[in-house]
Structure 1
Amino acid sequence: MSVQSCDYTVADFAYIEHADGPQRLRLFMPVVAHAVPLVVDVHGGAWCNGDLKDCESRDLALARAGFAVAALNFRHAGQGYPSSLVDINYAVRWLKAHAGKLGLRADKVGLSGQSSGGHLAMLAAMRPDDPRYAAVASPDGAAVDASVQAVVMQWPVINPLSRYRNVLRLRQAGTPPSWVGDLPERHDLYWKTTAAMEEGNPMLILERGEKAALPPALWIQGRPDPVHDYRDPEAGFDGNEPERFVAAYRRAGGMIDLLSIDNATRAGAASDLPTVAFFQRHLA
């Protein structure tokens, strides 16, 4: 598969319908004569903001490299956990169910996400068969599941509970850094309770020893980045959250790489090109 060589088309689909309306995906398709691997891309926004257009730089880099990319919109904000996971899980199955007519490889699917989208991508990958996430039946009864073969996370909020406590500590200490902003309120709006932040938590899933799918994964982390790269003083781990998750993932038997890049220039090629290279190794 050559890099940055393919023309591509773009089409929007309403992939799931809820009482408050449909959720849509934008499918970038390379113009080639064979079925192609698929990356499902999940936007960030602290579980409360954002849109599928936020992923476009990464999506175009992948499409030009010969991947199909489905950038998702999904329920979030006040609709709360686990609504996002229901939509993401269904989107993976919807795309697999329609793989033949869309020109996709249903056996070569990855998940990608940035910030809170990285958390959602990893949680969806770890729990493809969770009955809450898979609550909506597959289209036309298709015999497909939501399993994926690889995950790339870009500076994910991997541990919603520790990040919540971290920003509250900073706020309570007085004169918090400006990036804290309304992050505690966004956590509260989406998660509702700290118990939910603990339950829907890839870090704690591993540390609790729960059974989980562990596809090959890449964590791309800008540094310095206090929003996503901090130490949890309650964890008893001598390192920041990225190192803690990597250690737990490997201890559970998964393969994961941690790539550090300059946070000031993390957007664009600095993170997009490693994302493409990882998916080329594991999906192409």
Structure 2
Amino acid sequence: MKIERRSLLGLAAVAAAGAARPALACQAVGAPSASALAPPDPAEVIRLWPNGAPGGEGVSVTPIVPERSTDPAFHDRYAQYTTDPILTVFRPERPNGSALLLIPGGGYRWAVLDKEGYDVARVFAASGTTCFVLRYRLPADGWAAGADAPLQDAQRALRLIRSRSADYGVNPAKIGVLGASAGGHLAGLASVRTDATYDPVDASDTVSLRPDLTVLMYPVATMADPFVHAGSRAHLLGDAPSAERVAAYSLERMDWTGAAPVFLLHAMDDGAVPVENSLLLLSKLKAAGVPAEAHLFQEGGHGFGVRLIRGRPAEVWPDLVRAWGRRLDFAL
């Protein structure tokens, strides 16, 4: 089975010139040491749609991957106007048989690749989980599926991972999803929706499109006032969505019966996505009989990932997720 490989930096080269990080070809006097440089990106990449993403006839955007970090010790990139969705693969040295699809946030305006993607993937790959970071399409870029375009990518990604599980030493019944912020909303949709949002492409589309476990970090859950993240709603549904559209994309209003176990984590002082998003969803999960666990931290703000929470109480969240997974016989 063919798995395509190419450098993500090669993909980023098609972005605006300001996106590229200056090359460090040699160690000059006063330059950072090798240990102070951000780790290299994995070279293994899987294209989701071998013949192009569906419904792209009206799409004319040009992909960009800008770099926001000025510190060579870490990257802070985001992908915008994605037209060729991909999975970036983080293979552990000693696979434990589980896999995670990581869906970073970005308010459905872009996808934050490093903070909620690659950085988190390295943490869980270090304990044996094979990780796949999703670079997904955005709903306002002209795709025929509109608000369902990102979900098409998430569903296709889960099916590709499951259909190729033997290639990665992964148990096809141990495939989880971890989403952050708006990526948490997308991960929630992938967990609760049972309908395929695209026509089958190949044999991979015969396997299940739902995850076996779900982790939601400070998720955008509701599309309704007063707790909605207005930017995510606008980029997903437009400036003035109908009440029906709002209800159709609010996770706390959907039927979660039969969904996989869910882990929620949120900071009480989150000023971007109010903690009520997790609380509303937790109440819905409880009513639906879905096994769920929630951890609320007094401080942490929004979008902390793993790097921005070091030295603070919420730093323990990966260990809490692993402990929860062990109780479910799901190594992470």
TM over 0.5: same fold?
yes
Amino acid in the other structure paired with 2:207: V
1:98-129 CA-to-partner distances (Å, cap 9, x unmatched) read: 112232221101111111111111111111x3
Higher relative contact order (CA 8 A, sep 6+): 1
Per the alignment, do residues 65 and 248 of structure 1 end up closer, same or farther by CA in structure 2, a change over 3 Å counting? same
Per the alignment, do residues 142 and 241 of structure 1 end up closer, same or farther by CA in structure 2, a change over 3 Å counting? closer
Name the residue aligned to 1:71.
133
The alpha carbon displacement at 1:256 in A equals 1.0
Structure 2: runs of 5 or more not aligned:
1-40, 60-82, 307-314
Name the residue aligned to 2:120.
58
Distance in 1, Cα, partners of 2:169 & 2:293: 30
Amino acid in the other structure paired with 2:100: V
Name the residue aligned to 1:157.
220
Name the residue aligned to 1:191.
237
The alpha carbon displacement at 1:273 in A equals 2.9
Distance in 1, Cα, partners of 2:286 & 2:236: 29
2:47 counterpart (2, 14, 36): 14
1:212-236 CA-to-partner distances (Å, cap 9, x unmatched) read: 4321111101121132225xxxxxx
Structure 1 or 2, whichever has the larger Rg, is: 2
Name the residue aligned to 2:259.
214
Amino acid in the other structure paired with 1:52: L
| 1:1-284 mapped onto 2 (5 Å cutoff) | 11-16=44-49, 17-18=52-53, 19=56, 21-32=83-94, 36-54=97-115, 55-79=117-141, 80-127=146-193, 129-131=194-196, 133=197, 135-137=198-200, 139-140=202-203, 143-162=206-225, 165-166=226-227, 184=230, 186-192=232-238, 193-194=241-242, 195-205=244-254, 210=255, 212-229=257-274, 240-264=276-300, 266-268=304-306, 269-282=315-328, 283-284=330-331
1:27-69 CA-to-partner distances (Å, cap 9, x unmatched) read: 111123x672111111101111224333222211110011011
Distance in 1, Cα, partners of 2:135 & 2:149: 12
> RMSD over aligned Cα, in angstroms?
2.5
Structure 1: runs of 5 or more not aligned:
1-7, 168-182, 231-239
What TM-score, normalized by structure 2, do the two folds share? 0.66
Runs of 4+ residues deviating >6 angstroms: none
Is the contact between residue 90 and residue 136 of structure 1 (CA under 8 Å) also seen in structure 2? no
Per the alignment, do residues 141 and 248 of structure 1 end up closer, same or farther by CA in structure 2, a change over 3 Å counting? closer
Structure having the higher strand fraction is 1
Distance in 1, Cα, partners of 2:182 & 2:294: 17
Percent identity of equivalent pairs: 17
What TM-score, normalized by structure 1, do the two folds share? 0.76
The alpha carbon displacement at 1:160 in A equals 1.9
Count of aligned positions: 243
Is the contact between residue 139 and residue 149 of structure 2 (CA under 8 Å) also seen in structure 1? no
